[in-house]
Structure 1
Amino acid sequence: MTILEGDRACEARGTSDVSRVHSARLRVGAFTADPSGNRLECSGVDYPVEPLVMDVLCFLAGRAGETVSRDELIEHVWFFNPYADESLTRAISLLRRIFRHDPGGRAYIETTWKRGYRLTADVRMLAPARHLPTYYQAPALEDEFAVAVLPFRRQSTEESDGFLADGLTRDLTMLLSRVPRLRVAAYSSAQTVREGADRAPVISDRLDVRYLVSGSLARQGENFQLRVALMDGVDDAQLWAQRIDARLDQFFSVQDKIVLDVSTSLSSALHLSHAAALQQRKPFQLNAYELVQRAEALRLHYNSETAHEIVTLLEHALELDPGDGAVHAALAVQHTQNVTSKFCDTPAETFSLAKRHIDAGLSLSPHDPEVLAAAGITATMMGNARLAVRHLRTALDLDPNNAHTLAVLGWQQCWLTGEEEGLRMIETAEERAPHHPRFSLWAHYRGHCEIRLGCAERAIDAYQDGEARNPGYSLNLVTLAAAQAVAGRTSDAHSTLLRLKRVAPDYRLEDYIGLARRMTYWFGERLTRKAMISALADAWHTLPAD
């Protein structure tokens, strides 16, 4: 299929349920590999394997027939861990032990002396397995970062509308209570106040919260209208508002989606508003987690300068509280992003530092969804999509309100399977939280997914969205130029590369090649790694001399 035919196919694709997450299954010789279940099956017998052992197999399967060096495997699966050599030897041994059960007695993994390993078995993709998320409760902390959901007002005479309004109040209270470190006033406490009888500061003081959520439900013939607003009770100001219109006969079928849409938007608005309030204070007045929130707000205008400012804030936070897992996790994410964006000069050392921070974060806070999401993002930047998906799924199960977790999970899921559900997840995040500090990055992720799906023109559109949201972000310019080049838009690619040279004069073609090789699942059958590198190289080498 040509690139043009691929883009035409992209025009015809339909919608799908983003709540269903696929995980591709493989046929490896006589065995069926189920990565999501971490098991191999042959002749009706199941062979469970450890997740990292399955990661080794999936990496080899993605390069079936090629010799893969031990260093590549260690970098991909163990994140540059200098002590992983013995673990890799053990993983290969465990896989070979299982593969000996092949009825045909074939050898599956060949050792190439002093080079690495080669998977010699035939590999093909099978139908994906389904994964449906389950949900758990997460703890909430932080006194000032607190909210109350006031009783939704019924704006009609229908008695049944009162039950609907009460249900929305309960559901929003429940979902927001799963946002890490956000303290949510109990439903019973919020029921003791009536909006309109007192001003917001009085209600805020009575419930001991800073933020208030108010809403109303109105019936209009066969339709209903839901209005929700977020208020700062201390400053007596409205911070955010949303209106949803739908048919009444669809209410129950869309109720869960509506509530999740609203709670995700509220969560994003709460974080952004709280971070804005923190910007007005001196850094030494903030606690460790408040410094993390302040650092997050800097992503609204992300570039090399703000990236290094984020590291400075987070290192200060770590000095204040070395035992805060969320701080370690945030530092891990930033260090890996600095490598990916070429905002640092020592990538191997920076990746190793990030790995130490994320290990510390997971050790200190193994059930914190923010830490788990950070572990997923760290794995993403290091090129391990399978590990990223595992962490991100768990994080989203614990806190379904985190739009960034949803977006990164969608990106990585699309990379793994080459299917569109992941793309829909990114689009859902964009719809729910357009004011999120990482909103500009989500268009960048969409572009990556379109490359994976073979749709060069759609990738260009997505990268241009990202450029409009955050002008001058160097990595977005690199990927935009590559998409333009492979689509045959050489003049556009030249213009983009000239802008890149102004923004990041030290960026080299070799940097892009290294990134493309590390991001294992970035490319598909229509837009391959070789094609993308070759197209960008052709555009790069025909640029006028400096």
Structure 2
Amino acid sequence: MADTFGSDTEAGQERSDFRLGALLVEPDQNCVSNGAQRHRLEPKVMKVLCVLAGRPGEVISRQELIDQVWGVEHGADESLTRAVSLLRSVLNTDKDLHSVIETIPKRGYRLVAEIGEVEEPSEAPEPAAPLVEEAAPFVREPWRRDTNISPVRYVSALVVLAVIMLWTGVLIGRSSSSAVAVPEKSIAVLPFENLSGNSEQDYFSRGLSEEIRTLLTQLDELKVAGRAPPSVGTAEGMDAQALGKTLRVSHVLTGSIRSDQDRIKVSAELIDTESGYQVWSHGYDRLLSAQSLFDLQKDIATDVAGALSVSLNVQEPNRILGSDTHSLEAYNYYLSAREADVFGMGDRSEMLALLHKALELDPDYGAARVTLAMNTGAQAWNASTPAEASAFLAEGRAMAEEAVRLNPDLAQAYTALANFQALDGDWLEAGRDNRIALERSPNLRVLHDQTIFLMRTGRVEEALSIAQRGQSSDPLNPDRAATLAMAYALLGRHEAAQASLEHYWTLQLPPGDWDAYAWTIEMQAPQTVESLTALCRRLVGADPSLRPLLAPVIEALPDTGAALRAVGAQFESGAGAHPNRFEILAALAAQLGDPELALRIWRHELEGTRLRLMRVWGPVYADMRRLPGFADLMTGIGLPAYWREFGWPDRCRPAGASGFDCF
């Protein structure tokens, strides 16, 4: 291997600096500036711009752009769309470049701005005022970290977020006056510091830390906090005691990694956050190979467990399970993909490509296969047709089944399979596989999958309890906050749902804003005709592709009868190709007082895919659930057999020998 850590450095840009209208483009620096502001782009976004600039005025097909920039088959189409959108957001800041990248329907894109060369100065220029560098939106590459984000900024954001969360009571669903106790037997694993002198290997240091954290979740008595943001462990001005208070743990594990040719050296340290004293430390020096890395992870986790057994009486494990590949290259690709998944530092297409590379090197790599299964299935959320969604889900289920076969000890393989089984209507099998996963390892990822599954079955109160635990253990994970917001909304706790939603927006990088997910949550609360009209307009503003769907409804309001006729007409016509179209129409029908129409729409949606099934348990559909047809729909889906074995949902109860009523 040319590079032991498989860092996949970006190919050098072929273009020198050039002018785009009044903008200066510096490909080698991945920067675009206008003399006052400097925007930094991700390498692949810059490469898209360079390909277009190489042939100005010429239409370049989407496929050619994908081939030149990504060179992968899996999911790059979505990345190209996002890259063009991000370029427009930067380039259109110049008023003279209002249409710099033009979309040619069914053909591709072309650059319509004038390209100019950068003149070399004849003599040394006067020192210019420093440019204000503005961080533009970007698509992160999974194996890279934005080196311009300082550790101090990360920790400052961490502290501010912690204060906000404690103030609003979002963490555990209580008021801000409630005391938050630090569990005695608890630990946070901080990202290990990379001392190798190559920032492109940061992903490896963080990945190793994350793997050790996962191994520690196998200790039944130990509460293991969710992942800490990158660079927290090396932040200036934040000692172990402050970190312990922020992350609410009694101990932190930190360390450093240095690679030297064919060897890897790791220093690990366990610190008591109350006293600030070191409990344990050790240095490890190993040959660099896949097996030695997995042994190293297990050795560190076992040694930490041994140290905690002395200070906290944590029972040492009989065994700690490690990774399941012998390919160092495959492991590196998996760590890169996992960083995108865990830290939100990449997009799904890059993650899928990296996981496919890992499996090409080791087809029997169970952990990589289950991660690929989950992300393959997740593409069904954005499918435009039920057939397309079903294809993604079928592919994901086959991968999850194979992951269970390859690694029967991998807990998340069972929860992944359980969610696919549920979406296929195999609820009993899904319930049993979830039970197996919890027996294997009730870690945060398993519990998150369990939360989604329980909400689909209507057991939302139980799901909320698990979601609150996940948020408490992993307070800086946006997925936890989003799931908690949905659970609150489905239970009619609208203020708590809104607080969790706002918390979710603050955790996104870059920070998010009102979107279709927020609309779904707000539609569970009672709406007036005026507020409903405003929400519809706001949704179109957030997603202009929904204008054809919602324009007739908006035009008909405030006449509720006319609006309902418009909803019905849109449903009967097929409602276009937007993934959320039927969910949106069903919520409008329910809010406008026609539960029969809402049920007809949901029946059509659930016959295609059950991804959005959890929505039917919200308060807006209370009248719909009382209709006899709703019980028939749930019977057709196959849920009653699951309920009788595993527990009835919050909104349904058994009636007679085989019937049930919902409310």
TM-score, reference length from structure 2: 0.38
Higher RCO (CA 8 Å, separation ≥ 6 residues):
1
TM-score, reference length from structure 1: 0.45
Please say which structure displays the higher CA radius of gyration: 2
